[in-house]
Amino acid sequence: MKFLNFKSIFFIATLSICFLIKNTASAQAIEKTSQGVHFTSQGMDIQIEFYTNNIVRVYKTPSGVPYNKKSLSVVKLPKSVKVKFDAKGEITLLESNTLQVQVNAESGGITFYDTSGKLLLKDKDYGTQFTPLDDAGTPSYTVKEGFLLEKNEAIYGVGQIMDNKFNRRNSSHAMQNENMSTYSPYFMSVKGYAVFWDNYSISKFNDNPQELSFEGLGHCSDYYFMYGKNADGVIAQVRDLTGKAPMLPLWAFGFFQSKERYHTQDESLNVVKKYRELKIPLDVVIQDWRYWPEYNKSDSLWNSQSFDKERFPNPKQWANEIHKLNAKLLIVTWPGFGPKTDQRKEFDSKKMIINFDTWPPKSGARPYDVYNPEALDIYWRYLNKGIFSFIGNDGWWLDSTEPDHIDRKDSDYLLPTHLGSYRSVKNAYSLMHNKGIAVNQRKTNEAKRAVILTRSGFIGQQLYGSNTWSGDVVSSWEMLQKQIPAALNYTLMGIPNWNSDIGGFFAGHWKKDGGNKNPEFQELYVRWMQFGTFCPMMRSHGTDLPREIWNFGDRGTWCFDAQEKAINLRYSLLPYIYSTSWDVSHNSGTFMRPLIMDFASDPKTHDIGNEYLFGSSILVAPVTQYKTRKWPVYLPEGSNWYNFWTNEYLTGGQTVSTETEVDKIPLYIKSGSILPFGPKVQYSTEKKWDNLEIRIYPGANGEFVLYEDENDNYNYEKNLYSTIRFKWNDASKTLTIENREGSFPGIIKFRKFRIAIASKNQIFDGTHFEIIKTVSYSGRLVIVKL
């Protein structure tokens, strides 16, 4: 990074007009720019700029020490925004059509309001601190940024934190991305705004009655204030600023099977074959570590991105056989390389290795410098030649993307990277690693959407099709419970794709009393699988005990049957899930929706982190205790609800005790919902959606948009897709199926919709509805009176 003369940067960038604001203490010069202001206060140069009507950037540096910041997360450039300026005494007022920003040039205080004058957030007077610091020989600072919130204001985000808390008020966190801990310096308020402090260093988050603060290492304090009025609006601003989430292929929403590890190509291939023989749906098998040669039984060839000739004698045929079984293959790759790999030798020769030991221990493996653009390209060159273009795999498992740090020493954090000391950029490691692979894969082959499973994350990573999993969590009821609020806070950072190892990773303590046949472990696994059914990725994985369904018993035993029921439910919901994925991509939507997203006006939702809406209609309340057959579920005020399994109709604003047999997860459907159900299949694309069941849940008006495309590739970005909008009028009991919009190769031109309607309090098995009308549809408007 380079220090530049501030005056040359600033005056080239903007044509400034100076005016004076006077107060009793002193005269502060405020320079008015086209979309903001610049001034000096409290020993800092401060620049405020509207990026959009809803996004304001605040950039602070020590006075006279300019710094040219290049963001790793922010992809948006400022848009032209009409900003009104006014001066009232010592206060300068900036206003767009949605936000007001008041600036106190004497104290450096900055206050955000909506246009009606409602207080949103205050950047604390005298709340920014720069403390000089020698950062591995480079002059730098410890930077602290403080804010003032209302006393009872609920906030969310900060990261995936395993403390079983949802509301992040009155908490402190060491923000250092590691296995199971994934942070970004960001928080969202229930008041409808968020702050992203654009800093990648090992940092601190602290909220107490005096202030909320971020503290980290850097040359500037750089944050973005985003106003969206509600959580959906905030997430739309986050994606506008740091990148939209691309569509994942349809198969990525099917069932994934994995374990640590399949030792040979035949072992994993036979797993797919057995699922097909049992007629249990499966879309993906994953190959974990050590498929590469093991030199002298050591790990010196760790992550060579090549295949052992004895255990994987014909990897291309292996991948082809998996594809012939209509399944997909993900391959693991790591950021660290053993000392005898070609990659390591090249990276070492070009000084592109960060010289600390990474996984596995005592192997000599070390991570590459992801902050160097050339290193990202070199990494892909080997990965593409050794795997992607060689065998044609379908996606990547990026393990250890924090990365793992073995035998760590304080001095390791001072090691150089392309962008400065390791400690100054550590938390963005996963972001850059994911970026290098996703961007390069698309350059190589646009026929396959990038699918990445990764163990860490940072704001902006949603741009690369990444799905973060919660890390190597232990198999316990307590840990299952912690997954839910951790996931919800993570997705409120604008990163929609998240999952966990179904059953938990470390399961060794369950080996007593039968392992996979231990009744408590079986129930834990089933309950975790039910939760996984309603996550963006449904993936079984772990060590110590194998996780394939037949290891738990045979068909006809409760554990086998409960798993099969959950997997079949996932596949029947694929039209709903894939349409939701379009909403996530096209409208900046969210898969896992904490209740505050849709029911913020109900204060009881502000601290509820153990249930959520999956998409717009399905309320999910995972069971996280052993032998529990009644589970309390809060039904938010503002809607009425149907028990998915019984059709019982209940009013919102109450907690209900829900019967929850071991094969049923508590699910409630919001009144006014329209849900499409797909055919029974063995993999996601086995059958066309030409005869869908459309379930209507009366009690309110509603609508649903059914999305379809070619199921993979990026042609949807060229408008090669179709949508069909369904509208329910509750008063007239009329379903309107509007004209289909759009087209793509292979579109279904003629189809049937089987219409079913929920009958209040009609007790039934939720897997079956009575069809009351079948409608033929050729893409033209159809109105159905029910």
| Predicted confidence (pLDDT) per residue in 502-543, tens digit | 999 999 999 988 999 999 999 999 999 999 999 999 999 999
Calpha distance 278→676 (Å, rounded): 26
Residues 496, 347, single domain; the answer is yes
Q: What separation in angstroms does the CA of 254 have from each of 120, 538, 563, 637? A: 41, 7, 14, 33
Q: Are 605 and 599 in contact (CB under 8 A)?
A: yes
Residues 127, 18, single domain; the answer is yes
> Would you place residue 766 in the very low, low, confident or very high pLDDT band (cuts 50, 70, 90)?
low
Read off the tokens for 34.
């086209």
- Per residue in 682-692, pLDDT (tens digit) is 999 999 999 99
Task: Supply the pLDDT for residue 93.
Answer: 97
Instruction: Kindly tell me the sign of the dihedral angle through the C-alpha atoms of 174, 179, 185, 188.
Output: negative
Residues 106, 178, single domain; the answer is yes
Read off the tokens for 111.
């206050």
Angle at 82 between CA 78 and CA 88, to 5 degrees: 115
- Is residue 308 in a domain? yes
- Is residue 198 in a domain? yes
- Per residue in 486-506, pLDDT (tens digit) is 999 999 999 999 999 999 999
Instruction: Kindly tell me the sign of the dihedral angle through the C-alpha atoms of 455, 457, 462, 463.
Output: negative
Residue 298 has pLDDT above 70, yes or no: yes
DSSP state, 513?
G
Q: Of these residues, 346, 369, 402, 598, which one is catalytic?
A: 402
Residue 744 has pLDDT above 70, yes or no: yes
| Cis peptide preceding 360, ω within 30 of 0 | yes
Nearest residue to 194 (alpha-carbon basis) of 456, 492, 463, 458: 492
Residues 341, 411, single domain; the answer is yes
Instruction: List the alpha helices (DSSP H) in 501-552.
Output: 519-533
Q: Mean of the per-residue pLDDT values for the chain?
A: 94
Question: How many residues are there in the chain?
Answer: 786
| Cis peptide preceding 169, ω within 30 of 0 | no
> Would you place residue 3 in the very low, low, confident or very high pLDDT band (cuts 50, 70, 90)?
very low
Nearest residue to 462 (alpha-carbon basis) of 491, 485, 488: 491
Task: Supply the pLDDT for residue 29.
Answer: 82
- Is residue 776 in a domain? no
How many C-beta atoms lie closer than 10 Å to residue 166's C-beta? 23
Tokens 């929403």 belong to which residue?
253
Phi, psi of 471 (to 5 degrees): 95, -170
Residue 765 has pLDDT above 90, yes or no: no
% residues pLDDT > 70 (the chain): 95
How many domains would you assign to the chain?
2
Residues 202, 311, single domain; the answer is no
Phi, psi of 194 (to 5 degrees): -145, 160
Calpha distance 566→535 (Å, rounded): 12
Q: Which residues of 688-724 are buried (b: 16+ CB within 10 A; e: fewer)?
A: ebeebbbbbbbbeebebbbbbbbbbbbebeeebbbbb
- Per residue in 366-391, pLDDT (tens digit) is 999 999 999 999 999 999 999 999 99
Q: Are 655 and 635 in contact (CB under 8 A)?
A: yes
How many C-beta atoms lie closer than 10 Å to residue 150's C-beta? 13
Calpha distance 507→659 (Å, rounded): 28
- Per residue in 622-641, pLDDT (tens digit) is 999 999 999 999 999 999 99
Residues 394, 507, single domain; the answer is yes
Task: Supply the pLDDT for residue 295.
Answer: 77
Nearest residue to 571 (alpha-carbon basis) of 249, 274, 280: 280
Active site residue 402: yes
Residue 244 has pLDDT above 90, yes or no: yes
Residues 207, 351, single domain; the answer is no
Task: Supply the pLDDT for residue 759.
Answer: 84
- Is residue 753 in a domain? no
- Is residue 635 in a domain? no
Residues 32, 109, single domain; the answer is yes
- Cα radius of gyration (the chain): 27
Residue 6 has pLDDT above 60, yes or no: no
Q: Of these residues, 106, 283, 404, 472, which one is catalytic?
A: 472
Task: Supply the pLDDT for residue 294.
Answer: 85
Task: Supply the pLDDT for residue 763.
Answer: 52
Residue 751 has pLDDT above 90, yes or no: yes
Task: Supply the pLDDT for residue 12.
Answer: 29
pTM: 0.95
**371 Ramachandran zone, left/alpha/beta (phi>0; psi -120 to 50):** alpha
Residues 99, 170, single domain; the answer is yes
Calpha distance 58→18 (Å, rounded): 19
Calpha distance 201→428 (Å, rounded): 8
* DSSP H or E segment with residue 50: strand 44-50
Rounded to the nearest 5 percent, the helix, strand and coil shares of the chain are: 25, 35, 45
Task: Supply the pLDDT for residue 446.
Answer: 94
- Of the given ranges (13-17, 79-83, 163-167, 195-199), which has the lowest mean pLDDT? 13-17
Calpha distance 168→154 (Å, rounded): 7
Q: Which residues of 595-607 are buried (b: 16+ CB within 10 A; e: fewer)?
A: bbbbbbebeebbe
Domain boundary among 563, 592, 621: 592
Calpha distance 747→565 (Å, rounded): 30
CATH of the domain at 215: 2.60.40.1760
Domain boundary among 539, 559, 592: 592
Residues pairing with 141 in the sheet: 132, 218
Residues 274, 366, single domain; the answer is yes
Domain boundary among 559, 592, 625: 592
- Is residue 159 in a domain? yes
Active site residue 399: yes
| pLDDT, average across residues 22-43 | 76
Q: What separation in angstroms does the CA of 226 have from each of 223, 580, 583? A: 10, 24, 21
Phi, psi of 281 (to 5 degrees): -60, 140
Q: Which domain holds residue 29?
A: 6-191+193-227
Tokens 């000599």 belong to which residue?
364
CATH of the domain at 549: 3.20.20.80
Instruction: List the alpha helices (DSSP H) in 243-306.
Output: 265-278
Task: Supply the pLDDT for residue 755.
Answer: 97
Q: DSSP readout, 424-472?
A: HHGGGHHHHHHHHHHHHHHHH-TTS---EEES---TTGGGGTEEEE--S
Phi, psi of 504 (to 5 degrees): 80, 150
Burial of 451 (0-12, 13-18, 19+ CB in 10 A): buried
Residue 24 has pLDDT above 90, yes or no: no
Active site residue 215: no
Task: Supply the pLDDT for residue 28.
Answer: 59
Tell me the pairing of strands 654-659 and 203-207.
unpaired
- Is residue 689 in a domain? no
Q: Of these residues, 399, 602, 611, 709, which one is catalytic?
A: 399
Residues 223, 276, single domain; the answer is no
Higher-confidence residue of 48 and 7: namely: 48
> Would you place residue 26 in the very low, low, confident or very high pLDDT band (cuts 50, 70, 90)?
very low
Tell me the pairing of strands 751-757 and 691-696.
parallel
Residues 269, 215, single domain; the answer is no
DSSP state, 557?
B
Dihedral Cα 189, 193, 194, 195, nearest 10 deg? -120
- Per residue in 96-111, pLDDT (tens digit) is 999 999 999 999 999 9
Task: Supply the pLDDT for residue 572.
Answer: 98
